[in-house]
Amino acid sequence: MTTASLTSSVGAASAAPTGEAHAPRKPGGTRRRDRIVGLLAVLPALIMVVGFMAFPVAFAVFISFTRTNGLTYDWRWFDNYIALLNDPIVHQVFINNLKFLVSVPLVIFTALIVSVLLFERVRGWKYFRVIFFLPNVLSVAVIGIMFRSAFGYYGGVNQALGLFGIEPIQFFTNGTTAIAIIILALVWSGFGYQSLLLLAGLTSINPAVFEAAAIDGAGWWKRLWYITLPNIRRVLGFVFIINVLYTFTSLFGFVFVMTAGGPGFETTTIDYLVYLRAFSSTNLGSGAALAVILFLFIGILTLIQNKVFKLGEED
Amino acid sequence: MAEEDVVISLRISSRRSQLPIFISLLVVAATILYPLYFVIITSLRTNADYLQNPFGLPGEWTFENYLRLVDSYGIGQAFLNSLFVGTISVSIVLVLASLAGYALAKLPVPGTKFITATFVSVMLIPGPVLIIPIYLMLARFDLVSTYAGLILVYVATGLPFATFFLTLSFRGIPDEVIEAARIDGAGFFRIMWSIIVPMGSSGLATLAVLQFLGAWNELIFAFILITDDSMRLLTPQLASIGERFLTDQPLVSAGLFITASIPLILLAFASKYIMQGLQVGVSR
């Protein structure tokens, strides 16, 4: 490498340590070398991601068109998809997922209240922020088992009810109460992080707007309704979408440790059904087809999100 | 900081009206802290004591539950297994993502747009989609029920965010510094080690904490891919204990606290880094 080509730089003119006049960047030499070095540096990460994330998706699509036990693949076109669409269990599970959507307004409402409270920046708000974030560092296994224990026959909730002379309730033998408890776990573990997302949105509102409103005599509630909420509608929309996505893709852990999908299939979600089909049925193709349907569904939701909220252009 | 100025001007509510807000926050905080307090206290008493008086302080403090978990249910081994898998996968992610992040941030990599798009779009792949194909792929390579297979999965699923995150944080390093080092004859690895790593240390620390938490807390792949009992990681082990000992709340509570301990310690000592990572999560 020649020293002449090494001194080439763009945008570093003021800081160039050599006192010489600055030559414009040369196209060959270092630059070509940089391109090769750069590509080599990216390659290991890229290979891992393509090999173990992008390729598996393509593989899943392939599997979904076959009847397979993992060893031999028997091409069956859309048989798995047709079977799924006519499967009453799949219908029930999809409706279960819709029931879990109840958690979305609950989480957002709680997060909104908490973020508005945090926004007032009372003494110690930074500590509160860390406390509210706490459930996010815990495993779904921990949160799920904690709620399962708390609402179990010997759990804290039944013990507390016992103090009032109420007989223990079997929360998990009834689909509706079981779903309600999983939703409670979702709200408990999710509202903190989302209140911080909303807080970031609140912080980006121009303070002058608040001052002007305060001078005009707008009270706290009026400011909340007419200034704060309209100004964070974008973040609200974003939070809404991630919650919906979460309901369809990330309930596996909770369902797995809290109810194992039962009673019957009453708390089984789509992602849990993918797992059930994969490891307790003789046809992996069916599970893969369900996963692909889920993937398409998520993809469409994400596209809608990008179209509607255009997050990239925010701020 | 500028932020402090903003804080003052935003504080439109008077001192007097701050008390109800403070109290409300306190109530919300209690809904998070009380369950954890309950778990910790319960884990330190005997089952008989719990059934008699679950809400008071233990009649007799005991570590018996923890000892039982370690002696009879392999929690100690599972803890070490999780620590091992977490540490190895985080280290690999940090190395690979630093290389890629530096290149994407500072070098003229051909096809940068395409590569970045790949990293960003695979972040949208829902976990359940990967279960079947990854299991079959690892089975083909004889990597099911080995740590190598599991670590491979953790590295691959951690890398997209890690690379994206480090690309952003390395962009903040001034070009002049790198250029000066090159003029002094420093090569790729020299620049990486003596400029990028020290100047990007805050981003690297944030990423290390986040990735470790991710690996430590992961449940699905840890459960599916590790079938050998003595190799089990902590989260699947906890799940099976939670299922088997419904009648023994103190024992389950001890398991919960052991699993939660490392994340809680990280949050206590590295909350700054965790919160920084959060900001990037938002801008995504």
- CATH number assigned to the domain comprising residue A107: 1.10.3720.10
* Same-domain check for residues B55 and B89: no
Q: Do A60 and B133 touch (CB under 8 A)?
A: yes
Q: Do B242 and A53 touch (CB under 8 A)?
A: no
Q: How far apart are CA A238 and CA B279, in angstroms?
A: 15
* Same-domain check for residues B131 and B258: yes
Residue B53: is its pLDDT beyond 50?
yes
pLDDT at B1: 38
Q: H-helix or E-strand containing A75? A: strand A73-75
Q: Is the dihedral of CA A218, A224, A229, A231 positive or negative?
A: positive
Question: Among the three residues A40, A69, A84, which one is the final residue of a domain in this structure?
Answer: A84
pLDDT at B3: 42
Give me A136's structure tokens. 């996010």
| Among candidates B33, B176, B223 on the partner chain, residue whose Cβ is nearest the Cβ of A15 | B176
Does B108 fall in a domain?
Answer: yes
* In contact, A151 and A144? CB cutoff 8 Å: no
Q: H-helix or E-strand containing A101? A: none
Local confidence band at B280 (pLDDT 50, 70, 90 cut-offs): low
pLDDT at A170: 86
Strand partners, B112: none
pLDDT at B157: 92
Q: With beta carbons under 8 A apart, name residues in chain A contacting B271.
A: 130, 133
What would the 3-class secondary structure string for A135-179 be? HHHCCHHHHHHHHHHHCCCCCHHHHHHHHCCCCCCCHHHCHHHHH
Does B195 fall in a domain?
Answer: yes
Tens of pLDDT, residue by residue over B141-161, are: 989 889 999 999 999 999 999
* Same-domain check for residues A183 and A246: yes
* Same-domain check for residues B154 and B237: yes
* Same-domain check for residues B132 and B181: yes
Local confidence band at B97 (pLDDT 50, 70, 90 cut-offs): very high
Size of interface A-B (CB pairs under 8 A): 317
Identify from A42, A55, A211, A315 which residue to disrupt to test chain B contact, counting B C-beta atoms within 10 A and taking the largest count: A42
Which one, of B171, B155, B178, B169, lies nearest residue B94 by Cα?
A: B155
DSSP per-residue codes, chain B = -HHHHHHHHH--S-HHHHHHHHHHHHHHHHHHHHHHHHHHHHHTS-HHHHHH-SSS--SS---HHHHHHHHHH-HHHHHHHHHHHHHHHHHHHHHHHHHHHHHHHHS--TTHHHHHHHHHHHTTS-HHHHHHHHHHHHHHTT-TTSHHHHHHHHHHHHHHHHHHHHHHHHHTS-HHHHHHHHHTT--HHHHIIIIIHHHTHHHHHHHHHHHHHHHHH--HHHHHH---GGG--HHHHHHHHHHH-TT-HHHHHHHHHHHHHHHHHHHHHHHHHHHHHHHHHHH-
Does B2 fall in a domain?
Answer: no
Which residues are CB-neighbours of B114 under 8 A, at least 6 positions away? none
Q: Do A44 and B260 touch (CB under 8 A)?
A: no
Does A128 fall in a domain?
Answer: yes
* Same-domain check for residues B195 and B240: yes
The residues in A 190-249 lying below 8 A from B, measured between CB atoms, are 192-193, 196-197, 200, 203, 207, 210-211, 214, 220, 223, 245, 248-249
Question: Among the three residues A84, A115, A131, which one is the final residue of a domain in this structure?
Answer: A84
- Domain of A34? 25-84
Identify from A69, A93, A122, A220 which residue to disrupt to test chain B contact, counting B C-beta atoms within 10 A and taking the largest count: A122
Question: Among the three residues A64, A84, A104, which one is the final residue of a domain in this structure?
Answer: A84
* Same-domain check for residues B253 and B181: yes
* Same-domain check for residues B20 and B141: no
Cβ–Cβ contact B103 with A under 8 A:
yes
Does A269 fall in a domain?
Answer: yes
User: Could you give the number of structural domains in chain B?
Assistant: 2
* Same-domain check for residues B174 and B246: yes
| Among candidates A57, A125, A134 on the partner chain, residue whose Cβ is nearest the Cβ of B125 | A57
- Domain of B276? 74-283
User: Could you give the number of structural domains in chain A?
Assistant: 2
- DSSP 8-state class, residue A270: H
Write down how long chain B is.
284
pLDDT at B246: 77
Tens of pLDDT, residue by residue over B226-254, are: 988 889 999 999 988 888 887 888 899 99
DSSP per-residue codes, A283-301 = -HHHHHHHHHHHHHHHHHH
Among A69-73, B48-52, B211-215, top mean pLDDT goes to B211-215
Cβ–Cβ contact A119 with B under 8 A:
yes
Among A298-312, B12-26, B203-217, top mean pLDDT goes to B203-217
Q: What is the mean pLDDT of residues B28-43?
A: 92
ipTM above 0.90, yes or no: no
| Residue recorded with tokens 């030499």 | A29
Tens of pLDDT, residue by residue over B120-149, are: 888 888 888 898 899 999 988 989 889 999
* In contact, A12 and B175? CB cutoff 8 Å: yes
* Same-domain check for residues B92 and B156: yes
For residues A298 and B278, which has the higher predicted lDDT (pLDDT)?
A298
Distance from CA of A249 to the nearest CA of B (A): 6
Cβ–Cβ contact A121 with B under 8 A:
yes
Q: With beta carbons under 8 A apart, name residues in chain A contacting B27.
A: none
* Same-domain check for residues A74 and A115: no
Q: With beta carbons under 8 A apart, name residues in chain B contacting A252.
A: 127-128, 219-220
Cβ–Cβ contact B159 with A under 8 A:
yes
Identify from A31, A64, A145, A281 which residue to disrupt to test chain B contact, counting B C-beta atoms within 10 A and taking the largest count: A145
pLDDT at B89: 96
Q: With beta carbons under 8 A apart, name residues in chain A contacting B100.
A: 41-42, 44-46
Give me B155's structure tokens. 């590295």
pLDDT at A309: 66
* Same-domain check for residues B57 and B79: no
Does B207 fall in a domain?
Answer: yes
* Same-domain check for residues A126 and A67: no
Residues in chain A, pLDDT under 50? 1-27, 312-315
Question: Among the three residues B62, B84, B119, which one is the final residue of a domain in this structure?
Answer: B62
* Same-domain check for residues B42 and B126: no
Does B69 fall in a domain?
Answer: no
Does B4 fall in a domain?
Answer: no
pLDDT at A249: 84
Does B101 fall in a domain?
Answer: yes
pLDDT at B155: 95
Does B98 fall in a domain?
Answer: yes
- CATH number assigned to the domain comprising residue B181: 1.10.3720.10
Coil vs helix vs strand at A70: coil
| Residue recorded with tokens 């599916």 | B224
Q: Do A132 and B31 touch (CB under 8 A)?
A: no
The residues in A 36-75 lying below 8 A from B, measured between CB atoms, are 37-39, 41-42, 44-46, 48-57, 59-60, 63, 70
Residue B6: is its pLDDT beyond 50?
no
Among A311-315, B90-94, B217-221, B274-278, top mean pLDDT goes to B90-94
